[in-house]
Chains A and B, each alone.
Chain A
Amino acid sequence: MTEKLEQSLAGYSVPAKRTREEAWDMLQSNISGGKTIRKTKVASLNWFIGFASAAAVVFVILYIGMFRTGKYSPEISAGIAAVKTIEMPDGSNVQLNSNSNLKYHVNNFTGERNVVLNGDALFDVEKGGKFFVNFEGGLVKVKGTSFYISAYSSEMIRVDCTDGEVEVNLNGNNYLIGKNQGIKLYNGEVSGPFSVSEFVVNDRLNGVFYWPVISLSELADLIGYRFGYKAEIGPGLRDRNFSGRIELNNLHEGLLIISLAMELDYTIDEDKKLISINAN
């Protein structure tokens, strides 16, 4: 293992944008142009005390306002096949996947963080107060950990944990999943825990999905949600399964690959926003 690690490291270099000569030219021009360096001022004590008192008053006013109203951030959205990175005020990081949106609230007094999610997102939660993710059909509760939630609909929810532990409430029942485990709800039934790798989970942000096995109906629903369509599959196809890796950054390409792999036909009705998958 050490040898493999060292071999990889031997190939590493930093992604520099300027050569040393370019940096030198820039430095010369900065010096001759009299560019100033960012400075951190050290305030005098009296000024500091005055500022601190004023800041304390403002903080109390703001805190009371926030605590009473529990105001959420404006809704943040990621477009079709796009990823939006959100840095929350507590340092937690959320990467919102295709056709998803969320809003959040951080309680500065209790440290409690509340997120409302609709869609897919990868969370990297800073340690601190309780962190809740609410979505239609369930709730996730953590303290500091990394996990991925897919919750476009209360009919189809999946939670994968890549670090720490995650408490998941689905259908009114609580489940605890650990690192590299996933759980899902589909068609009113909860199943899992499944074994998942961090690489596979994070690759979803690149639009790349992998399943050892997934039913065609579940796959069609996911594609539909991801691109903002409703999906229908023909009679007799509900029991068909798909297995493997697929890139879902383009609706037509994704459906084409599935239809070729499973010998199916598909149509897309743009007016009704409807995908229909049928036998060949």
Chain B
Amino acid sequence: MVETVKGTVWFKRIFDEYYEFIRNYLFYLSADMELSEDLAQDVFMKMWQAKDKIKDETIKPFLFKIARNLFINSHKRKKLDLKFINTRLENPASESPEFLLEMKEFDWRLQHAISNLPEQCRTYFLLNRIDDMKYKEIADSFGVSVKAVEKQISKALKILREKFDRKM
């Protein structure tokens, strides 16, 4: 069977390429995984509906833009409390209980500090550090310059460093 230009195979390829980025981006915005997974479904349904109107080169910014709009429309205003899985704490090597307690406290403070970063800082920073997106990829996804991405990520690091240096 010959696949039409924008049929299921094309859609599956796009889904595989971007689903996790979109779901994680929604999680960085909402701190709510259930909501993020539901909204990610809506993002791709919208994309499927609009597939004939979207140019291939604008798919990525389209997905991120739709994701943010859906988040804003569904968002119940609340204080963010991001909770990541930390594999270092889940599979500790033979560390002492004191060291583990210190790590746990540091981890708790770090997650809290990340939750309090401004939205743009937080999302760019996490897409870069957790999803391994390059500055250029983030810039393309959000229609901003690489310089702007650099600036936001540096700002995030500066805030986190200041917060931790002060506490140490």
Interface of A with B (CB < 8 Å)? 1-2, 4-18, 20, 23-24, 26-27, 30-31, 35, 37-38, 40, 87, 91, 93, 124, 126, 198-199, 202
Contact with A along B35-52 (1 / 0, CB 8 A): 001001110111010000
Nearest chain B residue, comparing its CB with the CB of A7: B88
Q: Assess the B109–A198 pair: CB atoms within 8 A.
A: yes
Q: Which residues in chain B, 98-124, are within 8 Å of chain A measured between CB atoms? A: 103, 105-110, 112
8 Å CB contact of B45 from A16, A17, A20, A27: A27
Contact partners of A35 in chain B: CB under 8 A: 45
Contact partners of A198 in chain B: CB under 8 A: 109, 112
Q: Assess the B84–A14 pair: CB atoms within 8 A.
A: yes
Q: Assess the B79–A91 pair: CB atoms within 8 A.
A: yes
**Chain B nearest CB: distance from A215 CB in Å?**
26
Offer 25 A-B interface pairs, CB within 8 angstroms, sorted by A.
A1-B165, A5-B161, A8-B86, A8-B88, A8-B107, A8-B110, A9-B110, A9-B129, A9-B130, A11-B88, A11-B89, A12-B84, A13-B87, A13-B130, A14-B23, A14-B85, A14-B130, A18-B37, A20-B16, A20-B20, A27-B41, A35-B45, A38-B42, A91-B78, A124-B79
8 Å CB contact of B86 from A12, A93, A126, A199: A12
Nearest chain B residue, comparing its CB with the CB of A13: B85
Nearest chain A residue, comparing its CB with the CB of B103: A8
Nearest chain A residue, comparing its CB with the CB of B16: A20
**Chain A nearest CB: distance from B6 CB in Å?**
14
Contact partners of B78 in chain A: CB under 8 A: 87, 91, 93
Task: State the 7 A-B residue pairs at the shortest beta-carbon distance, nearest first.
Answer: A11-B88, A12-B84, A11-B87, A40-B73, A37-B42, A11-B86, A9-B129
- The answer for the CA separation of A26 and B40 in the assembled complex, in Å, is 11
- The answer for the CA separation of A10 and B78 in the assembled complex, in Å, is 27
Q: Assess the A199–B108 pair: CB atoms within 8 A.
A: yes
Q: Assess the A37–B106 pair: CB atoms within 8 A.
A: no
Contact partners of B161 in chain A: CB under 8 A: 1-2, 5
Q: Assess the B44–A27 pair: CB atoms within 8 A.
A: yes
Q: Assess the B74–A38 pair: CB atoms within 8 A.
A: yes
B135 within 8 A of A: no
- The answer for the CA separation of A202 and B37 in the assembled complex, in Å, is 29
B142 within 8 A of A: no
- The answer for the CA separation of A15 and B26 in the assembled complex, in Å, is 12
Contact partners of B16 in chain A: CB under 8 A: 20, 24
8 Å CB contact of B37 from A13, A23, A199: A23
Q: Assess the B86–A14 pair: CB atoms within 8 A.
A: no
**Chain A nearest CB: distance from B91 CB in Å?**
9
Contact with A along B1-32 (1 / 0, CB 8 A): 00000000000100110011001100100000
Q: A8-B110, A27-B41 are in contact. List 12 more A-B contacts (CB 8 A).
A: A6-B129, A8-B88, A8-B106, A11-B86, A14-B23, A15-B84, A16-B23, A24-B12, A38-B73, A93-B79, A198-B109, A199-B105
Q: Assess the A91–B45 pair: CB atoms within 8 A.
A: no
**Chain B nearest CB: distance from A16 CB in Å?**
6
Q: Which residues in chain B, 44-94, are within 8 Å of chain A measured between CB atoms? A: 44-46, 48, 70, 73-74, 77-79, 83-89
Nearest chain A residue, comparing its CB with the CB of B42: A37
- The answer for the CA separation of A214 and B43 in the assembled complex, in Å, is 54
Q: Assess the B40–A23 pair: CB atoms within 8 A.
A: yes
8 Å CB contact of B84 from A1, A13, A20, A31: A13
Contact partners of A23 in chain B: CB under 8 A: 19, 23, 37, 40-41
- The answer for the CA separation of A8 and B84 in the assembled complex, in Å, is 11
Nearest chain B residue, comparing its CB with the CB of A39: B73
8 Å CB contact of A199 from B42, B88, B109, B157: B109
- The answer for the CA separation of A236 and B160 in the assembled complex, in Å, is 50
